[in-house]
């Protein structure tokens, strides 16, 4: 890991934001999760255990950018059979498509630490635009003198737009798995340079 000299937060439109630089998502303080409806009556939550992100905070915070990679084989819903099914060709096809990728394209609508992050999400070689609602959780210094900040983000996608079309009709009407999937991300990022 590259050593960095802590600079400390700075004011941007009344909010303390992190200093400009390159930050990496802290693997020990992150959750990249999702929520799907099951049998039209309940929710199933899962997450990806392995995900990396690089966040470049600009001198002008509105010029910041994000790139992230998520390993599809790391999916975890606390049910082995379901996880294996999600890794199969019916869903992520993890052997053929090991990664989900996200690249930001614009940061907009900044308001008191909340903003919208436009980007491109790639699943199974299909790239579509997405809009993340992001909440900036704060910036500070760790006990080790590193600049850090926290954030959370959410969006909702139609999984079928990315070729994740497997489903099963129910006798009572409806389907086994919802088309709409909520994505939930929380994390801390540590300044590298």
Q: Is the pTM of this model over 0.75?
A: yes
Of the candidates 141, 127, 112, 98, which has an alpha carbon nearest to the alpha carbon of residue 11? 112
Q: What is the pLDDT of residue 1?
A: 46
3-state helix, strand, coil in the chain (%, to 5): 10, 60, 30
Identify the pLDDT of residue 10: 85
Per-residue pLDDT of the chain (193 residues; tens, 9 = 90+): 445 555 778 888 888 889 999 999 999 999 999 999 887 778 999 999 999 999 999 999 989 999 999 999 999 999 999 999 999 999 999 999 999 999 999 998 778 788 999 999 999 999 999 999 999 999 999 998 899 999 999 999 999 999 999 988 888 877 889 999 999 999 999 999 6
Domain boundaries, the chain: 10-191
Contact 121, 156 (CB under 8 A): no
The reported pLDDT for the residue numbered 5 is: 55
The pLDDT, as a whole number, for residue 193 is 66
Length of the chain: 193
pLDDT score, position 111: 82
**Ramachandran bin of 181, using left for φ above 0, alpha for ψ from -120 to 50, beta for the remaining angles:** beta
**DSSP class of 162:** G
C-alpha 2 chain-centroid distance: 24
CATH 2.40.128.110 fits domain 10-191: yes
d(CA 53, CA 147): 16
* pLDDT value for 79: 96
């Amino acid at each position: 890991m590259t050593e960095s000299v802590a600079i400390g937060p700075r004011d941007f439109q009344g909010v303390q934001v992190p200093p400009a630089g390159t930050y990496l998502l802290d693997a020990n303080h992150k959750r990249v999760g999702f929520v799907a409806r099951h049998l039209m009556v309940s929710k199933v939550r899962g997450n990806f255990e392995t995900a990396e992100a690089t966040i470049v905070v600009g001198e002008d915070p509105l010029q910041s950018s994000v790139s992230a990679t998520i390993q599809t084989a790391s999916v975890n819903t606390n049910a082995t059979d379901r996880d294996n099914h999600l890794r199969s060709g019916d869903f992520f096809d993890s052997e053929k498509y090991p990664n989900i990728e996200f690249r930001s394209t614009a940061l907009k609508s900044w308001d008191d630490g909340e903003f919208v992050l436009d980007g491109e999400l790639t699943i199974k070689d299909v790239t579509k635009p997405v809009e993340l609602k992001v909440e900036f959780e704060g910036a500070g210094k760790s006990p080790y003198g590193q600049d850090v900040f926290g954030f959370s983000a959410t969006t909702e996608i139609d999984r079928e737009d990315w070729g994740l079309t497997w489903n099963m009709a129910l006798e009572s009407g409806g389907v086994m798995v919802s088309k709409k999937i909520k994505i939930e991300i929380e994390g801390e990022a540590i300044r590298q340079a």
